[in-house]
Amino acid sequence: MILFTDGGSTKCDWILMDHSGDVLLKTQTPGLNPAVVPQEEIERRILSNNALQSAVEKVIILDFYGAGCSTKTPVAMLQATLSRIFTQATISVQEDMVAAVHAVTTTPGIVCILGTGSNSCYFDGTTLRTVAPSLGYSVMDEASGNYFGKQLLRDYFYGRMPAETASEFAARFDLEPDTIKLNLYKRTNANAYLASFAEFIFTSEAINDYFYQLIRKGVDEFIACRVLPFSEAKKVPIHFMGSIAHFSEKILRDSCKEHGLQLGKVLQRPIDGLIDYYRTHRIQNGNTTKKH
């Protein structure tokens, strides 16, 4: 059986598929970003999922696509952790951009992720390339959940948030400075913690002017940094995926139009497109046998 994942910083979707393309298991664990989650915590999060535990001995191929898997050190750590758990499997660890491309297109385009974090790549139909390394939530991640969470906190504490909105924000979250600093600087997954504040925008009854300007600024910054630097940007569709992309589709459309860009697909969860990709390109092509 083949097990594949789409792993973000907040959550990780797992799909177990047999050699006929039938989905035998869909499950979810907390995020497994190896750049921000310690090795022992990654192992604990996987082993605490009973459905995955029951499938461990059956998996002969494990393809892990995840946030934080674009540099050697975290990839090596995650590969070693997965190998200890899935002892019968041949394991591949690749960055989440690869899964995003598989989920959305087989033809040239720019593929963007707007979730807890953010990133982009150009796909020429065969290979992908990025415009810059992804340095994570402290430095980059424009228009991501953690980006908007950070902006909300800054605006609240600097008094730049409208009074009514600030009152609602304070009622929704624990804004005690000591609590915030503890989660940001002492606990794991600070990026996911920041992203949790972004829910305030996207679960509100309406996108008011303050929210619109906040989202639009982040989206414009993302496009300036992560889309327009590609020379092909105005020649191919720009696809977006992730929870932030899904809830910001109208603003994405407005921004793309203003920049002369062609908006492509906007998907909330790449895992559904990944299932179709595996059925078409892995199962039908017979690429599910164990490697030696």
Contact in structure between 137 and 144 (CB atoms under 8 Å): yes
Q: Same domain, yes or no, for 23 and 153?
A: no
What b-and-e string marks burial along 160-176, b requiring 16 or more CB atoms within 10 Å of the CB? ebeeebbeebeeebeee
Q: Please indicate, yes or no, whether residues 230 and 96 belong to a single structural domain of this protein.
A: no
- What is the average per-residue pLDDT within 279-283? 80
Write the CB contacts of 100 (distance below 8 Å, at least 6 apart in sequence): 111, 112, 113, 121, 239, 241, 270
Nearest-5° angle of CA 137, CA 64, CA 116?
A: 25
Q: Residue 291: its pLDDT value, please?
A: 39
Q: How far apart are CA 14 and CA 80, in angstroms?
A: 18
The SS3 of residue 218 is helix
Residue 135 above 90 pLDDT? no
Q: Count how many domains the chain has.
A: 2
**Taking a C-beta distance cutoff of 8 angstroms, is the pair 264, 109 a contact?**
yes
Q: Are 110 and 69 found together in one domain?
A: no
| Pair (18, 123) in one structural domain | no
**Does 210 map to a domain?**
yes
Are 234 and 277 part of one and the same domain? no
Is 87 a domain residue?
A: yes
Do residue 95 and residue 168 come from a single domain? no
What mean pLDDT is predicted for residues 184-198?
92
Instruction: Evaluate if residue 239 carries a pLDDT over 80.
Output: yes
**Domain of 231, in residue numbers:** 106-269
Residue 82 shares a structural domain with residue 154: no
Instruction: Tell whether 215 is covered by a domain.
Output: yes
Domain of 148: which CATH number? 3.30.420.40
Tokens (6 digits) for 53: 């535990």
Structure confidence at residue 281 (pLDDT): 80
With respect to residue 25, please indicate whether it lies within any of the assigned structural domains.
yes
Q: Please report the sign of the dihedral spanned by the C-alpha atoms of residue 61, residue 67, residue 69, residue 75.
A: negative
Do residues 275 and 264 both lie within one domain? no
Confidence of residue 240 (pLDDT cuts 50, 70, 90): very high
Share of the chain above pLDDT 70, in %: 97
Q: Tell me, yes or no, whether 153 lies in a domain.
A: yes
Please report whether residue 289 resides in a domain: no
Q: What pLDDT, on the 0 to 100 scale, is given for residue 206?
A: 73
176 and 265 share one domain: yes
Q: What is the pLDDT of residue 287?
A: 58
Task: Return the number of other C-beta atoms located less than 10 Å from residue 292's C-beta.
Answer: 4
Written as one letter, the residue type at 259 is H
What digits encode the pLDDT tens for the residues 98-121? Answer: 999 999 999 999 999 999 999 999
Q: What is the pLDDT of residues 38-53, one digit of tens each?
A: 999 999 999 999 999 9
Angle, in degrees to the nearest 10, between helices 177-185 and 190-202 = 130
pLDDT, mean over the chain? 92
Asked if the model's pLDDT at residue 167 lies above 90, the reply is: yes
Q: Is 100 exposed, middle or buried (0-12, 13-18, 19+ CB in 10 A)?
A: buried
Task: Please check whether residues 142 and 53 belong to one and the same domain.
Answer: no
On whether the CB atoms of residues 12 and 29 are closer than 8 A, the answer is yes
Comparing CA positions, the residue from 181, 158, 184 lying closest to residue 169 is 158
**What integer pLDDT is reported at residue 114 of this predicted model?**
95
* Assigned domain for 20 exists: yes
Same domain, residue pair 123 and 177:
yes
Same domain, 76 and 207: no
The string of pLDDT tens digits covering residues 256-277 is 999 999 999 999 888 888 999 9
Examine residue 245 and state whether it is found in any structural domain, yes or no: yes
